[in-house]
Structure 1
Amino acid sequence: MNTTNQTNLQDREAAWAKQRRVVEQSLARRHAAERRFRGLGLSGVIFGLAMVALLFVTILAKGLPAFWQATIPVEIYFDPQIIEVEQRPGLLPGESAAQLREREMAWQTQLTMSNWNRLIENALLEFVPEAADSRAELRRLVTSGERFRLRDMVVADPSLIGKRVRLDLLADANIDVWLKGNIDRDLPDNQQQLSAKLRQWADDLYARDVIRMSFSTALFANTDSRSSLASAGLAGALAGSLYMMLIVILLAVPVGVASAIYLQEFAPRNKFTDLIEVNINNLAAVPSIIFGLLGAAVFINWFKMPLSAPIVGGLVLSLMTLPTVIIATRSALQAIPPSIRQAALGIGASKMQTIFHHVLPLALPGILTGAIIGVAQAIGETAPLLLIGMSAFVAAVPATPFDQSTALPVQIYLWQGNELRNFFEARTSAAIIVLLSVMITLNAFAIWLRKRFEKRW
């Protein structure tokens, strides 16, 4: 009997040991699977961050040098023998404003005919006196747009004639890339963009600290240019983007928030509102280029709005941003507990007071976050702007939203296709840095607003 009991006990212990091994093996497999899953997740996060870091490092490495540009500090003598122009006309007795304008235009035309290049040549000869017989070649050290800058200075202040003014002239784009090492110096002369004489002058002036790398204010203060590539800047694109962003904020955000409040809090639940909600969700997934086609068909062809104007771009981007704002606002409203509404109604508040005095203030952080993220997404869109003509070359800063303009994403698109790749590749990356800075600033502002207005309940 004792032997049988001992045998049964041994059998049970063996069964328990076997079961324990099965459980331990199962736990080991589950723990291994969990570790693999966590490892894969962490690897994915690290890989994603590494790719983002690589993108930013690449853009910064290429774009930061473009914020410094080759300049030549010179003393310009506005020689009255070269600037042969009469005294600027003033209003005569009995003369109308139109007649004065006509004489003013004739005076400016006469001023334009002056040899502004000669002023630049004379200033450069002080540093390169041996170039007296190669003035045309010497002039190529400076970008062609600087002569118009001198003319505009005299138009603004005719008293400069006969005076000496210290100016930083922009070097030509080919000189800039040569000094930065973006041109292979070992190429034969017939494959170089600059003559051997120009290359020697540029290197000598750079070694003597006559040509310097200065912070490029032209990148932010000038508009785009096709004739003077070194003078090309982002002023027009920045103004156009700011106008469009302002239109989106004034149009899409109020309409989107109001629509979301009505649909979430006041609209009856029926097939019609269900259809509206489905269409809003579908519109949020529509490719942006479709909104560009819609804008070209409606705002330009039907309403006859000006082509390539920020007002049209702002309206198109508002249509594109509207579903995002509505969905974000509804999500923020849905996140408010029903007890807030019930408590407000229980103490006698009306439906309107409940929504605007209790629910909306609590949902404000989410609403602001969604709205700003929608605006930040809109400012980076390119495809819809191309379809409404904002890819046109515009060499002016828009004074109003109805003036022709371009935008930052479109300017990036235009620069990356420029034939002078070794100069505009860095310029394009610099424009991308500016655009990313605007978008990151908007997103940081959204996070700050969320923290600032966040309330606990």
Structure 2
Amino acid sequence: MKEQNDNYFYIPQIKRRNQKAALFKGATIMAIVFSVSFLIFFLVDLGRSGYPAFFQTYVKMEVTINEEVLENPYVAVKGKNLKIISRAWLRDIPNQVKQNPTWMNTTQEHWVLANSEVDQYVKGKESRTKPNERAYVDELKEKGLVELKFNTIFLTTGDSKIPENSGIYSSIIGTVMTIIVTMLIAFPIGVMTAIYLEEFAPDNRWTQIIEVNINNLAAIPSILFGLLGLAIFINFFGVPRSSPLVGGMTLALMCLPVIIVSSKASLKSVPASIRQAGFGLGLTKWQIVRDHVLPLAMPGIMTGSIISIAHALGETAPLIIVGMIAFVPDAATSFTDAATVLPAQIFTWAGMPEKAYLERTAAGIIVLLAVLLSMNAGAVYLRKKFERKW
């Protein structure tokens, strides 16, 4: 009788437990479906918005090249043609003549870069072209004189106030130089700090305070690192503003806590038996760490470091503080030249009124995502490679 009463008491609890488990499982599945749906929607919308930026409208027309044109490029074309041509292409005529001297004193047909409003109209987007200009462009399209060509300008030029002549080349160069400085500073200092704190530092109040502060630094807003970089590197040490050097040093400050924490966790995961075996063979503490503990911990250290630097690659706030959002049309040639980075370039374009900048913003995000995914894939590859090796 007592056994029956006990079963009667537990059956409702089991039912409620199963109901809660089913409810939790359903909520988890809904969350995953929602997240994946949002990601798919984001990628599809990003691709739809950014894909047109990789193509640019060109118009085939007669262009007269002579001495007068070299002094005033706007007389190279006449009439209605001038309203649909990019000012950037006209201004570049002297440089084109230097590369092609046979153009002088000739009137030839050339594929000429159209302005951004005509480009938007040809792509079927909202445009501020006038009705007569649209009719003229339609007439040229019927004659086969309008084409969408791959936009090499987007990948080979820097920023420009003329939308159809703007590109990401200078920002990519600035990004690469900034990340190089970040890696050269953050990785060795972060790993050595983690080795000291985990393997050599005594467990006392001071080291505990240091570890607590490192953990806290990993969680503070990134813009505070920008203020720190402005106060120390620019105002105190006089490092050139807007340069890859100051940007890389600022991002290195931001990466250091994450690299230290991840490296400490990787070192801690190495079994204590490895260290004990080393002591049993008469090795010193440094020999054990250098030849045995560090190689085993390297996969986790590399993964954490690459992911931290990839996160820094997408940061904008600290770089705005140190001036790397300036208008920089030319690529930097040294680490102290003025430069901008891809996230800052995207941020600048997103605030421009011209519609052509919007598709370039999406295209820049696509490039940035491709770089971030490549770095994360590299982290996974290095982790697997080191795991197989050791």
Tell me, yes or no, if the aligned pair for 1:143 and 1:229 is still in contact at 8 Å: no
Residues in 1 aligned to 2:313 and 2:40: alpha-carbon distance in whole angstroms = 22
8 Å CA contact retained: 2:66, 2:106: no
| Map of 1:442 onto structure 2 | 375
Per the TM alignment, residue 263 of structure 1 is displaced from its structure 2 partner at its CA by 1.0
Question: Which residue pairs with 2:322 in the alignment?
Answer: 388
1:305 to 235, 239, 242: 239
AA aligned opposite 1:118: V
Which residue in 1 is equivalent to 2:150?
A: 215
Look up the SS of the partner of 1:278 in the other structure.
helix
Residue matched to 1:94: none
Q: Which residue type is aligned with residue 304 of structure 1?
A: G
The counterpart of 2:292, out of the listed 342, 351, 358, is 358
Offset of residue 208 of structure 1: 3.0
Structure 1: gaps spanning 5 or more residues: 1-11, 84-110, 122-134, 185-192
CA change 1:47–1:388 in 2 (3 A) is same
Counterpart position of 1:86: none
- Offset at residue 270 of structure 1 (A): 1.5
Structure 1 or 2, whichever has the larger Rg, is: 1
Indicate how the Cα distance of structure 1 residues 230 and 356 shifts in structure 2: closer, same or farther if over 3 A, else same: same
2:94 to 136, 148, 151: 151
The answer (yes or no) to whether the contact 1:292–1:383 under 8 Å persists in 2 is yes
Taking the aligned partners of 1:216 and 1:309, their CA distance within structure 2 comes to 28
Code of the aligned partner of 1:285: A
Letter paired with 1:36: L
Matching of residues 228-307 of structure 1 within 5 Å:
228-307=162-241
User: Partners in 2 of 1:404 and 1:156 — Cα distance?
Assistant: 28
Shift of 1:30: 1.5
Match of 2:73 among 97, 103, 116: 116
State the 1:415 CA deviation: 0.5
Contact 1:362/1:455 (8 A) holds in 2:
no
Amino acid at match of 1:154: V
**Which residue of the other structure, out of 365, 370, 375, is the alignment partner of 2:309?**
375
Root mean square deviation of aligned Cα = 2.1
For residue 132 of structure 2, what is the aligned residue in structure 1? 197
1:24 shift after superposition: 2.7
Equivalent position SS for 1:21: helix
Conservation of the 8 A alpha-carbon contact between 2:299 and 2:384:
yes
Contact 1:174 1:194 in 2 (8 A): yes
Distance in structure 2 (CA, Å) of the matches to 1:338 and 1:247:
35
Partner of 1:68: 55
Tell me the percent identity. Answer: 37
Deviation at 1:232, TM superposition (A): 0.6
CA contact (8 A) 1:138 1:198 kept: no
Q: Distance in 2 between matches of 1:440 and 1:164?
A: 49
CA separation of 1:177 and 1:157: change in aligned 2, threshold 3 A: closer
1:167 and 1:234, CA in 2 relative to 1: closer, same or farther beyond 3 A?
farther
Aligned mates of 2:103, 2:155 — CA distance in 1? 26
The CA deviation at 1:163 is 6.6
Q: Which residue of 1 aligns with 2:20?
A: 33
d(CA) in 2 for partners of 1:163, 1:239: 38
CA 156–297 in structure 1, closer or farther in 2 if over 3 Å, else same:
farther
Amino acid at match of 1:329: S
- Whether 2:355 is the aligned partner of 1:425: answer no
User: Which contiguous aligned blocks of 4+ residues in structure 1 show a shift greater than 6 angstroms?
Assistant: 163-166
Counterpart Cα distance in 2 of 1:54 and 1:153: 43
SS at structure 1 position matched to 2:331: coil
Q: Distance in 2 between the 1:197 and 1:382 partners?
A: 43
- Specify the SS of the correspondent of 1:225: coil
Residue of structure 1 equivalent to 2:41: 54
Residue 264 of structure 2 aligns with which residue? 330
Q: CA deviation at 1:160?
A: 5.0
Counterpart of 2:346 in structure 1 is 412
What residue in structure 1 maps to residue 81 of structure 2? 138
Q: CA deviation at 1:251?
A: 0.9
